[in-house]
A and B are shown apart, each in its own frame.
Chain A
Amino acid sequence: MSSNRLAGIVKLAFVVGSLQLGSIGLAQADTTILNVSYDPTRELYKEFNAAFAEKWQADTGETVTIQTSHGGSGKQARSVIDGLEADVVTLALEADIDAIAHATGKIPADWKARHENDSAPYTSTIVFLVRKGNPKGIKDWSDLVRDDVQVITPNPKTSGGARWNFLAAWAWARAANNGDDAKAQEYVAQLFKHVPVLDTGARGATTTFVQRGLGDVLLAWENEAYLSLEELGPDNFDIVTPSISIKAEPPVALVDGNVDAKGTRKVAEAYLNYLYSDVGQKIAAKHYYRPFKPELADPADIKRFADVKLVTIDEFGGWKEAQPKFFADGGIFDQIYKPGQ
């Protein structure tokens, strides 16, 4: 016990010391770039940042420190708009990067074309996380509106992941009703009647489902669902893959206005490109993101992904159309939440 405590104190002193050294070092030679990202990418970028820093050191002899900021995608975009000096943004959906481009002009309007796969180095999809053994027998979207089922999803207004959830549900309902959008809206409205809590972010929703024991099914990013299995115990939950889901493409972009002001363009560009390299793709797959080039990743990691029919955002006319139609003030999401309906 006492040796433990001593070790703790020594460690503490060491860390404080190294922190101070670190900050002195920072002021002198180091380059620092800031990656402003969304909630579920913490673990992914923790590993990727270390890998990139090593690579950059080996290639150029320079050391680089990558700072990260995580939060709800919309909140993060707003911070960048209000002046948070991000060198790169890696957000949950296109609409949030479009918002930055539109509001600040720091990102060119054609940012999507600057990297492969519409600037999405990895993709994901929406799956169901259910309690162990799937006691409610939830197999597909149609089960979610049964009377005995409660669904946990965050608020599409504040969470990027929740917007993918919303559109995935819509995509299934539209396909199930032969392309009838009115029926799809009816289904989604029904679905949200089964939602007892609207958390502001994906992580909050997972906590509600896992820690508070609320709800029978959590709509989650595939990578989040696998991560929570890993972190919170595979004995407690199962993953159910629905018949249809959406191809969620979290894009990345260089913030030109900021990198030019800070003189970090070269390293920031290299950082984003490295996401597409074999190392980047491997790390993405390891953290349960579906890599853009699966052949570069570990086949064992790729095998974990279930086959699922994926619709894309293009079927909704792209984010430029989907964002205002569904999620703007007074849009379809607001309409289905009107009281008395």
Chain B
Amino acid sequence: MSLDTGSASAALVRAATSETRLARSILIVVALGFVVLFLLLPLATVFIEALRKGPAEFVAALGDPETLSAILLTLTVAGIAVPLNLVFGVAAAWAIAKFEFKGKAFLTTLIDLPFSVSPVISGLVFVLLFGANSALGPILQSYGIKILFAVPGLVLATVFVTFPFVARELIPLMQEQGTSDEEAALSLGATGWQTFWHVTLPNIKWGLLYGVLLCNARAMGEFGAVSVVSGHIRGQTNTMPLQVEILYNEYNFVAAFAVAALLALLALLTLVLKTALELRYSDEIAASRRH
């Protein structure tokens, strides 16, 4: 294939360590075709449909008070759920990555569990736990505490669904980094908290940010689980993805896709930030991906 190689054996080696130009092109076309068909076209559809009637309609659709309250609610729910899972994720990663103990694999599996549980079930478990027919429901009601069909229920379902995200990112990264940095700091007389703030946290901050980004994207975009616990009260308990469904069901397709486009923009922003992180801190993040 290449003419500039000196000896025949070098050409042979080259032939066996890389594909022919034809194979290369075919592989690239197949891969790109797949990405276009399954990823880019759906994304493009969202924006095309949203802008079908022009940018003015798009902006007007987002200015609707019910849509605004859905945006506000989504920000609130994610604003509560993500920090909670951030603290949990760091604690879990610390325990699992820095120590050897019995039952670690089992614990890891339990942490992963919400990841593979159907979102419908994630919502259902809270209905069964706090619903009017449950053991807890009437007690909570007698104290006037509302969980289901209110913000706490939405937060709980969201926390459940995004539970493993931060921990999942941090565990492999912290396992890779080992404990020598911390041991050094401790031997120099640092306290545990000092070690954590000044040694561990700087080491994991990009992986942590990456985990938080994904966690946040999922928290804002969750549909199945929150749909089960929301109650769909207009302007009250509809998050953005639920608002998309409602608008869609009202034949208000431009508005539905406008909210969807907002969510998609959020997704794109997540990806841009993530790529920027990778560009600057590729080594560290490559390690965090290894799971």
Q: Do chains A and B touch in the complex (CB under 8 A)?
A: yes
| Pair A12/B233 contact, Cβ less than 8 Å | no
Indicate if the CB atoms of A8 and B63 lie closer than 8 Å: yes
Asked if residues B68 and A12 are in contact (CB atoms below 8 Å), the reply is yes
Is B65 positioned at the interface, with any CB of A under 8 Å from its CB?
Answer: yes
**Cβ of A323 < 8 Å from any Cβ of B?**
no
- A236 — which chain B residues lie within 8 A by C-beta? none
A67 within 8 A of B: yes
Pairwise interchain contact B133-A84, C-beta atoms closer than 8 A? no
- Answer yes or no: A228 CB below 8 A from chain B CBs: yes
State whether B60 touches A201 (Cβ < 8 A): no
Q: List which A25-52 residues lie within 8 A (CB) of chain B.
A: 34, 39, 42
Q: How close is A38's CB to chain B, nearest CB, in angstroms?
A: 11
In the complex, B223 has a CB within 8 A of chain A: no
Q: Which of A84, A201, A206, A211 contacts B149 (CB 8 A)?
A: A84
- Which stretch of B162-170, B181-189, B203-211, B243-251 is in the interface? B243-251
Contact indicator B137/A83 (Cβ below 8 Å): yes
The answer to whether B232 and A71 have CB atoms under 8 Å apart is yes
- C-beta contact mask, A1-36 vs B, less than 8 Å → 1, else 0? 100110010011001101100000000000000100
The yes or no answer to A246 lying at the interface (CB within 8 A) is no
Report B66-96 CB contacts with A as 1/0, cut-off 8 Å.
0011001000000000000000000000000
Rounded to whole angstroms, the CA-CA distance of A204 and B251 in the bound complex is 10
A201-B68 CB under 8 A given contacts A69-B234, A83-B148: no
A85 at the interface (CB under 8 A from B): yes
Complexed CA–CA distance, A332 and B68 (Å) = 45
Which among B68, B235, B246, B253 is the interface contact of A16 at CB below 8 angstroms? B68
Chain B residue with the shortest CB-CB distance to A43: B250
Contact of A83 with B132 in the complex, beta carbons under 8 Å: yes
Contacts A67-B234, A83-B148, A84-B149 hold; do A8 and B59 have CB atoms under 8 A apart? yes
Would you call B241 an interface residue if the criterion is a C-beta within 8 Å of the partner chain's C-beta atoms? no
Contact with A along B143-155 (1 / 0, CB 8 A): 0001011000000
The closest CB in chain A to the CB of B248 belongs to: A207
Contacts of A104 in B (CB 8 A): 132
Cβ < 8 Å to A, chain B residues 236-291? 236, 246, 248-251, 253
CA distance A207 to B250 in the complex (A): 9
Q: Report how many A-B pairs have Cβ atoms within 8 Å.
A: 80
A81 at the interface (CB under 8 A from B): yes
Q: Is A231 interfacial (CB-CB < 8 Å)?
A: yes
Interface size on A, residues (CB 8 A): 36
Contact-size category for B: 20 to 34
Tell me, rounded to whole Å, the shortest Cβ–Cβ distance linking A155 to chain B: 15
Which of B55, B65, B149, B248 touches A85 (beta carbons < 8 Å)?
A: B149
Residues in B whose Cβ lies below 8 Å from that of A85: 146, 149
B231 partner, pick from A5, A16, A84, A204, beta carbons under 8 A: A84
Chain A interface, DSSP helix/strand/loop, else mixed: helix
Q: Does A176 contact B (CB under 8 A)?
A: no
Inter-chain contacts of A19 with B (CB < 8 A): 65, 68-69, 72
Instruction: State A231–B248 Cα separation when bound (angstroms).
Output: 13
Q: What is the CB-to-nearest-CB distance from B11 to chain A, in angstroms, rounded to a whole number?
A: 56
Cβ–Cβ < 8 Å partners of B127 in chain A: 82
A70 within 8 A of B: yes
Hey, which chain B residues are within 8 Å of A70, CB to CB? Answer: 232, 234, 246, 249
> Is the CB of A109 closer than 8 A to any CB of chain B?
no
Given contacts A12-B63, A15-B63, contact A82 B236 (CB under 8 A): no
Within 8 A of B (CB), among A57-76: 67-71
Q: In the assembly, what is the distance between CA of A15 and CA of B56, in Å?
A: 17
Say yes or no for A79: interface residue by CB 8 A criterion. yes
Tell yes or no: B119 within 8 A of A by CB. Answer: no
> Is there contact, CB below 8 Å, between B63 and A103?
no
Q: Are A207 and B249 in contact (CB under 8 A)?
A: yes
The answer on a CB contact under 8 Å between B56 and A4 is yes
- Is A282 an interface residue, CB under 8 A from the partner? no
In the assembled complex, how far is the CB of residue B49 from the closest CB belonging to chain A, in whole angstroms? 10
Cross-chain contact A8 with B60 (CB below 8 angstroms): yes
Contacts of A12 in B (CB 8 A): 62-63, 68
Return chain A residues, CB-CB under 8 Å to B236.
67
Question: Please, could you name 14 A-B residue pairs with CB atoms under 8 Å apart, sorted by A?
Answer: A5-B59, A8-B56, A15-B63, A39-B249, A42-B250, A67-B234, A69-B233, A82-B133, A82-B148, A83-B130, A83-B131, A83-B137, A207-B249, A210-B251
Known: A19-B69, A228-B251. 16 other contacts (CB 8 A): A4-B59, A8-B63, A11-B63, A16-B68, A19-B65, A19-B68, A67-B233, A69-B232, A69-B234, A70-B246, A70-B249, A82-B127, A83-B137, A84-B231, A85-B146, A85-B149
Question: Chain B interface (Cβ within 8 Å of chain A)?
Answer: 55-56, 59-60, 62-63, 65, 68-69, 72, 127, 130-133, 137, 141, 146, 148-149, 231-236, 246, 248-251, 253
The 9 closest A-B CB pairs, nearest first, are A83-B132, A82-B131, A203-B249, A8-B59, A84-B231, A69-B232, A84-B149, A231-B251, A69-B233
